[in-house]
Amino acid sequence: MSARRPFDSLQFAKSGESLSGSLRVEELPRLSDSLRPDDVAVQYRLVGVKASGRPALRLQVTAKVWLTCQRCMTRYAELLELDSVLPVARNEAELLRWEALDPLLDALVADPALDLAALVEDEILLGIPLVPMHAEGDCDPDGLALMNEH
């Protein structure tokens, strides 16, 4: 099974199968500002699992994204290592019942033609810090000097 070919998310979740590979920058258009073509591709692993008795997809993603530090306004690389378990509801009604029991539940409605590249892209976008910043003490001194001039 390939990430480039859509597949049934509920069947995959129930099957316990796994799928791993990489996606190239051009396969993730919403991340074009955060990825560089010369960087290593985004790595993923998808496994069908049970979560609280529900069929689920466990998605692990490793990606290096380029962000602009909001402290010094310079670009820096941030390594994202994401691990999500997404229960798969049969339909909207089932998802609404689950959310009524757990309003913080992050789940999907079954999709007979799930686009794995889009799912990976969604998870990366959700994993990017809201206010990206270098680690304390790692800011570019030239960028800080420019910020202090204003």
The upper half-sphere exposure of residue 146, i.e. CA atoms within 13 Å in the direction of its Cβ, equals 9
Percentage of residues in the chain having pLDDT higher than 90: 73
Task: Look at residue 106 and tell me whether its pLDDT is greater than 80.
Answer: yes
Sequence ranges of the domains in the chain: 9-149
Hey, CA dihedral for 112, 116, 120, 122, is it positive or negative?
Answer: negative
What would the pLDDT profile of 10-30 be if each residue is shown by its tens digit? Answer: 999 999 999 999 998 889 999
Q: Classify strands 75-89 and 54-68 as parallel, antiparallel or unpaired.
A: antiparallel
For 36-74, how does the pLDDT look when each residue is reduced to its tens digit (9 = 90+)?
877 767 999 999 999 999 999 999 999 999 999 998 999
Residue type, 61: V
Summarised one tens digit per residue, pLDDT across range 85-102 is 999 999 999 999 999 999
